[in-house]
Structure 1
Amino acid sequence: MLSRRYLWIGIFVVMNLGAVQAQAETIQVTIDKLVFSPVAINAKIGDTIEWVNTDILDHTATVKGGWEVLMPAGKSASLVLQEVGLFEYYCRFHPNMKARVTVE
């Protein structure tokens, strides 16, 4: 017979596993006419951002001191988010193109 202590530990583990198994999502950002859209997104660790570049120019999603993703003209590229924070990114080739992602 299991003691109450082990029963409660089992319930706690099952409840926490349910929270951990949340499905990661893919969030799409379109680049059109030198604009990221949407310009601000909220995400969680494990989510993927997919940038779809519909322009005839190459672009990047660059975080100073952080990551950089290159999107060739007419192509897509993606990044799996691995840390919490507010990340303001821009295109290295066109610095007026700016956007941000908040990762919780």
Structure 2
Amino acid sequence: MLSRRILLTALALGAMAVPAHAATIQVVMENLVVSPAEVSAKVGDTVEWINKDVFAHTATARNGDFDVAMPPKKTVTSVLKKAGTIEYYCRFHPNIKAVLTVAP
């Protein structure tokens, strides 16, 4: 009976020690619009920047945290490394803007 309790305790502790998996967040630029315009993520999450337009876009953070270039009809990824609320825009199309909130 004691060995069964030890085994169950070890299994429970092992389950708690499993690291949380990072999420993949998709941000789409299409028809000169970014969607979603506001998105939440966590440090360590991956952002898939999907450009469905026939011209290049960027996701350029106003605070300098990132500047992601997206060729036409391509998807690029980046991993979020810093917490904060980040306003970003497209350098080529400044009316395309959005907010990314990154939790620790």
**TM-score of the pair, normalised by structure 2:** 0.80
- Within a 5 Å distance, the mapping from 1:1-104 to structure 2 comes to 18=16, 21-64=19-62, 65-104=64-103
Return the offset for 1:20.
7.3
CA–CA distance in 2 between the matches of 1:70 and 1:29?
Answer: 13
Determine which structure has the larger strand proportion and give its number.
Answer: 2
Identity %: 51
List alignment gaps of at least 5 residues for structure 2: 1-12
Q: Flag as ranges the 4+ runs of structure 1 deviating above 2 A.
A: 17-20
RMSD of equivalent CA atoms: 1.9
Structure 1 distance, partners of 2:89, 2:48, is 15
Distance 1:20 1:94, change over 3 A: farther
Unpaired stretches in structure 1, ≥5 consecutive residues? 1-13
Paired residues, number:
91
Q: How many angstroms does 1:78 deviate by?
A: 1.2
Give the superposition deviation at 1:23.
0.8
> Residue by residue, what CA displacement relative to the aligned partner does 1:37-61 show, whole Å, maximum 9, x if unpaired?
0111100010011111010110000
- Aligned to 1:24, the other structure's residue is in SS state coil
Distance change (3 Å), C-alpha of 1:33 and 1:81: same
